[in-house]
Amino acid sequence: MNQVSGALTQITGSPFPTGTFPVSVAVDPNERFVYVANQGSDNVSGYTINATTGALSTLGTSPYAAGDGGCSR
């Protein structure tokens, strides 16, 4: 993000791969990790955030299996 204008700028490596039909994104309180819930593939993608560039790197143990939560498709 441009610190003066607030305009968003593309991060190197974007777009970042996720599972099928990503539906939500969460950033941990320390802003070190990002998690994406993927409804279509019933898993969660995890990434580390580069504090300098904002670029994401896939966590080696990602994606994490998750149930469908009883959601119908």
Question: How many C-alpha atoms does 26 have within 13 Å on its Cβ side?
Answer: 8
Beta strands in 18-68 (DSSP E): 22-27, 33-38, 43-49, 56-58, 64-65
State mean pLDDT over 30-57: 93
| pLDDT score of 72 | 52
Residue 2 has pLDDT above 70, yes or no: yes
Q: Is the peptide bond preceding residue 15 cis, with omega within 30 degrees of 0?
A: yes
| Residue with more model confidence, 11 or 48 | 48
Task: Look at the block and give the residue holding tokens 């593309």.
Answer: 10
| pLDDT score of 68 | 67
